[in-house]
Amino acid sequence: MPWIRIDLSEGRTVEQKQKTAEAVTQALVEHCGCTRESVSIVFNDVSDDNWAFSGKLLSQRVKP
């Protein structure tokens, strides 16, 4: 029973998450021999204040 956790910056739409869930589920069915019913996916929306790269919070980085 695959359990997948996907961490994303906040801001993705429900439609984007639905399409991602479908694609990830299909990939596991095709490549790992899982059943669709056995695949569990959790989306974790992370705010820019709670995610850092190279010692800088995303909320503090200059965006192009």
pTM: 0.84
Residues assigned a catalytic role: 2
Domains of the chain: 3-60 (3.30.429.10)
Structure tokens at 23: 């694609």
Per-residue pLDDT tens digits for 9-51: 999 999 999 999 999 999 999 999 999 999 999 999 999 999 9
CA separation for the pair 9, 57 (Å, rounded): 12
Structure tokens at 62: 């200059």
